Amino acid sequence: MTTRAAINILGSTGAIIDIASLGVSTLEARRESVGIYQLKGTKGMAKAPEGWGYVVNQMDNDKKVAITFVNELLEVSVTLDGEPADLQHSLTLHVAVDELPPQVVPEPAPLPATDPAQEAQAQSSQLRAIADYAITPLQDAVDIDEATEEDAAQLKAWKKYRVALNRVTEQAGYPETIDWPAVPY
């Protein structure tokens, strides 16, 4: 089966500017001589509805284009007033190409087995850092006798929370099942 590719070639050299392809990308293009451009790797022009033939850049609207396909070679002849002429800018050809082979999508690699104890320790460390961050300014206020009753109550709640975090390892289902203590606010 064939499909369509749009190939843009540069008028001055016949070099490929780019290819938009639903098929192969191994097309070759060159300027054979004045007004003659050759392409290899196509199956000829893609006919409607898959293709639209060709489109010249607006700078080259005054030129005539003729296309032939013989012996696996697509040849584009460009003339101006009946004489061979190079394109000033570019030409877009809608050509037929082989369909890309189906892509094999590899199975995603299985996620590495995680160690529940390591996960529990990481979670505990993260929660402990939050507790330490909350406790430090409250403890400072208590240490310099500037803590309010609310500060003292919050400090006690955060310290109880931190103690509870340290005791999760004593739970019956640890590390697979953990009943994390509630964060005080």
The pLDDT of residue 4: 74
Low-confidence ranges of the chain (pLDDT < 70): 1-2, 21-25, 48-52, 100-101, 103
Bridge partners of residue 18, in order along the sequence:
8
Q: Indicate the average pLDDT of the chain.
A: 86
Range of the domain at 67: 2-97
Instruction: Identify whether residues 90 and 164 lie together within a single domain.
Output: no
Instruction: Identify whether residues 22 and 91 lie together within a single domain.
Output: yes
Contacts 24+ apart (CB under 8 A), 100-105: 100/3, 100/22, 100/23, 100/24
Identity of residue 153: A
Number of domains in the chain: 2
What residues contact residue 111 under an 8 Å CB cut-off, 6+ apart?
A: none
Instruction: Identify whether residues 123 and 160 lie together within a single domain.
Output: yes
Judge whether 84 lies within some domain: yes
pTM: 0.51
